[in-house]
Chain A
Amino acid sequence: MDETLTKRSAVRNVKKGKKQPLTWSVIKSQRQLIYMSVPLLAYIILFAYVPVWGWTMAFQNYKPARDFAQQEWVGFKHFKFLFSDDSFWRVLRNTLGMSMINLVLGFVTAIILALLLNEIKKVFLKRTVQTISYLPHFLSWIIVTGIVATSLASDGIVNDILMKLHIIKEPILWLSEGKYFWGVVGASHVWKEVGWNTIIYLAAIASIDPALYEAAEIDGASRYRKMMHVTIPGIKATIVILLIMSVGHILEAGFEVQYLLGNGLVVDWSETIDIFVLKYGIAQGNYSLATAGGIFKTVVSVTMLLIANWTAKRLGEERLL
């Protein structure tokens, strides 16, 4: 009994962020927590820190068959190639563009859908909508792009509907115009992920204290006002945390969807960093260049993450670090 009490108080102290001297008794009282963190620590060391050693490849002319000692060191050659290539800036723009679209659309649609679902009082209807909307999450991109390509074909469902509604006269070749490509990618992402993304918001909404709603009701708040002043502030912390994490993935605009839907006509708008790295790094057997591309992405990701976190802190919001 005593032991559990001390453990709980220790935990609480840590959470409050008060500095506490690290003593054996603290360690002993938290030993379950320490044991629990061992597997995760092992996982992180094994899969996050050990591979960083591979970064040395970016500064070599890496040849797979050779030992580390036999590799030829070339300094920043691969980075120079990367940054001096015209197409690199183009693929960077595409990556950022599509990433921003995915980020904004992903957040806005998921939050709106979660809020709407939350307002549905019929459990059966709510569950049905939720299930149907998150099913596409379990399809792989190769299947999704197949569906997208078929739907957007000149005799596909999208053109059929638009023509039946007399919005367009002739079928639009969606996939042959660069200007549509980002939109197509954004829409495919929303279709695939929106249901899945709502789950976490619905969970956050469920944890809001019902007393707040009751209080709002007594004050005469309408449904809409309750949504604006109780639900949204209630899930704000979740939104901010997820946003910070997503910003860290800003250079992960995806690979499969652009690779599989792209073609010669839209190549200026469809190629992302990942495709560039595949083409000029891995496809050339130039693993060093591929690594250099990877390092660039990591550095940008970490920087963006820190900026987002710092901004959140300045705005007095919940933050990650």
Chain B
Amino acid sequence: MGTTLATGLPGVSMNVSDHICAFYRGVQERDEVLLPYLRAGLRAGDKCICVVDSTDPDALCAELTDEPRVDDDQLSAFRSEDSYLLHGRFAPDDMLDFWESVARSAFAFHDYTLVRAVGEMTWALRDLPGVDLLVAYEAELNRQLHKYPQVVLCLYDLERFTDGEALMEILRTHPQVLMSRMLVDNPWYIEPDELLTHQR
């Protein structure tokens, strides 16, 4: 801890191992968070991993072609169908393995010092097996973040996530909240052990 990282938003910084819940409304507001976040990562030489759901990954990468790169693999962009929803279902353990393998690879085979991940979470609104495990997955992710130097930004569209009760659940799984260009420690956060125990 102690090292502050640029979020790409003016005056807003974060720390290693942060798991941030970013609320926004619509794709335009999403990009106002997502693109600066990735640009800052590319400029800082971080390994950047991005999963998008409502945009084509190539279109997203095209927005960032002007940014300097450490190497061609510095930015990896995936569709939700190729990550969260691989094989047409959501399996939290598989997804946690996915993040870990990407992070492990970044540190084992490259000289990255930080993995900067971001996921667009609207895939969780689809009627597919396993999406009801979202809260458990988000809670479990908090435990994994300390294994490698990384930060994770989860993007929640308030125009799509209209269930207030679900939002409160999501709020309880993220130690930080980014909203209206403000990043604050989340008083509603519940440690994963307690949350998962209660859920069981």
- Decide whether A and B are members of one complex: no
